[in-house]
Amino acid sequence: DTAVSQTPKYLVTQMGNDKSIKCEQNLGHDTMYWYKQDSKKFLKIMFSYNNKELIINETVPNRFSPKSPDKAHLNLHINSLELGDSAVYFCASSRDSFYEQYFGPGTRLTVT
């Protein structure tokens, strides 16, 4: 059973396009996150949702918009993709704390 799943696993697209990454968790957790991991493996939190409400919104371009239709799903929509958006994006979830997070397998985004 997959705990945190993401689709797609790989995404190759051109500059200027709009794309979405989907995340689902079947752990019954209340909080979900989006992270960006750059080529140097630095993992930075972008957003956090608790029960469908935004609780962390780090300084990211407003081209990135998270959407949470229910507490088991947190999707990431990216408008007007740029070369610098190329990275691995991880979704994660936790029950009621930041310190015990479960990560998805990642989505490798390449912008050409």
Residues that bind another protein (CB under 8 A): 4, 40-45, 55-56, 90, 92, 97-106
Please state the closest distance from residue 105 (CB atom) to another protein, in A.
5
Question: What residues have CB less than 8 Å from 42, skipping those under 6 apart?
Answer: none
Q: Which is nearer to another protein, 15 or 55 (CB)?
A: 55
Here the tokens at position 82 are 């740029």
Q: Which is nearer to another protein, 58 or 82 (CB)?
A: 58
Please state the closest distance from residue 16 (CB atom) to another protein, in A.
28
Here the tokens at position 70 are 């229910």
Distance CA 79, CA 97 (A): 30
